[in-house]
Amino acid sequence: MQWETVIGLEIHAQLATQSKIFSGSATTFGAEPNTQASLVDLGMPGTLPVLNAEAVRMACKFGLAIDAEIAPKNVFARKNYFYPDLPKGYQTSQMDHPIVGKGHLDITLEDGSTRRIGITRAHLEEDAGKSLHEDFHGMSGIDLNRAGTPLLEIVSEPDIRSAKEAVAYVKAIHALVRYLGICDGNMAEGSLRCDCNVSVRPKGQAEFGTRAEIKNVNSFRFIEKAINHEVQRQIELIEDGGKVVQETRLYDPNKDETRSMRSKEEANDYRYFPCPDLLPVVIEQSFLDEVRASLPELPVQKRERFEREFGLSAYDATVLAASREMADYFEAVQQVCGDAKLSANWVMGELSSLLNKDGLEIDQSPVSAEQLGGMILRIKDDTISGKIAKMVFEAMAAGEGSADEIIEKKGLKQVTDSGAIEKMLDEVLTANAEQVEQYRSSDEAKRGKMFGFFVGQAMKASKGKANPGQVNQLLKKKLEG
C-alpha cells in the first residue's frame, strides 16, 4: 500500500524581551537555578500579573510578516494542569482568541521549488519551569528560572508532507524570527523548540490518520530523524494489523527512536477559562501601523532582491538570505569589491568552511567583511591568483593583517610581466623536452591531458605567482610553435 505522511508543527519561539511576560524578572539564559523567579512567577497568593507590552509588539510583528490576521481583541486563558515545574497549577496562555490568526509562509525545497504552508494561529503564553534529573540521587530538582518566560507558539496547518518539508518550514520560521529580531533562535538553549504532529494515511484518502505528537525536538537534524522514524513506526504498526493511538511521544537521539510518554490530552482536559487577572488585549490600528513601519526587509524579499539586483542564482540568493547576519556580511563584502558573484562564492565557500570548522557564527568571523572585500579586489586587479588568495585568506583568518599587508609581507604578488613568464616557460619546456616532443606528436585528446602537466610545472616553477591566464595563453603558443 502507498502511504502519505501528514505533518503539522507547533513551534515555541522564546521572545527576546528583557523581562518575563507577566513580571519584571530577567530572562537571561544560564543563571543559577531559581535566581530569576519572582513572587509572580511562583504564583504566590495576592500577586497579580502585568502584561509585557514588548511581547505583544513582537507577536504583532510576526503576524504582519506572515500576512496573518491580527485579532483586534485577544484574551488570555488559564490552562490547568498539575506538574512540579508549574507552581501556579495553571499556565497562562491563549485559547479561543489568539493574537495572530490565519497566515502563511512560503518555503523553498531542495529542488528549488516553493510550497506555501498555512499557519493556523500564533498565540502568546508563558513558559513553565524545568525539572532537573541529574545530580539529585534518584530525585528531581526544579528550576523555575524559565517560568513566565514569554513564548510565541506558532501552529501550522497539517500541510507538510515529508520530514524534509518539515525541516524547510522550521528553517524558514527560524530565519524569519531572527530577521524580525523577536527571537535569537538558539535551539541548543531551548529558544526555539518544535512539537511534531505526525500521522499517515493511504494515498488518496481524504480523512487524516490518528496522530502522535513528538514533543520538544530541538535541532533541524533531530526533527527530520524523529519524523522519519515515527512515520516508519506508524506504517509498520498499521500493516501488522495494529492501530496508532493518539499520544505524546519523546524522541531519543541516542537510540534514534520515539517512545511513548503519555496519552494525548484533549483541550477540554485542561479546563481552559479566561484569566480573571488579565484584561482582554485591545490592539488599535495606529499601533499596528507603527509596527508595520518597523518591519525589516524579510528573507523572501531579500532573496528576490539579490537575484534581481546582483544577478545571483536562486540557490545562491536563498543560501545567503537564510540568515540576516550572512546577508548583511555578503552585502558589505560586495560593497567593498563591487563583484557580487565572487563575494557570494567566497562567503558561501571558504568563509563558511572556516566558520563550520571552528564552530563560529558569522558575527564571530576572524575575517571581517571589509578584509574579505579588500582581498577580492586584489583577485580582480590580478595582484593575486585565486590559488594565492586562499593562502592570503588563511593568513587573514590567523590575524596576520589585511590582504595588502599579507601580500606585501610574504611577497605573494602575482607575476604579470609577459617577459618574465615567457623566460620561466622556456626553462620549464627545456627541462621537459621529452614531454614536449610527445605533446607535439600526439592527437588533440591526448594533448588536452598533457597540457595540464605543463601548466602544473609552470605554476610550480613560479611558486604559484604567475598569472594563470597568461601562463595558459603563452604556453599554448609555445607548444604549438
Q: Average pLDDT in the 441-470 region?
A: 77
Confidence of residue 267 (pLDDT cuts 50, 70, 90): low
* Residues 120/156, Cβ–Cβ less than 8 Å: yes
What fold does the segment set 418-480 form as a domain? Arc Repressor Mutant, subunit A (1.10.10)
Residue 324 contacts by C-beta under 8 Å, 6 or more apart in sequence? 175, 178, 179, 296, 299
% residues pLDDT > 90 (the chain):
72
pLDDT tens readout for residues 59-104: 999 999 999 999 999 999 999 999 899 999 999 999 999 999 999 9
Mean pLDDT of the chain: 91
pLDDT tens readout for residues 348-378: 999 999 999 999 999 999 999 999 999 999 9
What backbone phi and psi angles, to 5 degrees, belong to 87?
A: -60, -30
| Local structure of 160: helix, strand or coil | strand
**Does residue 17 come out as left (phi exceeding 0), alpha (psi in the -120 to 50 range) or beta?**
beta
Q: Average pLDDT in the 109-126 region?
A: 93
* Residues 34/16, Cβ–Cβ less than 8 Å: no
Residue 72 is given by DSSP the state S
Whether the pLDDT of residue 285 is over 90: the answer is yes
CB atoms within 10 A of CB 279: 10
- CA-nearest of 150, 154, 146 to 174 is 154
| Local structure of 105: helix, strand or coil | strand
- Residue spans per domain, the chain: 3-287, 297-410, 418-480
Q: Average pLDDT in the 388-413 region?
A: 91
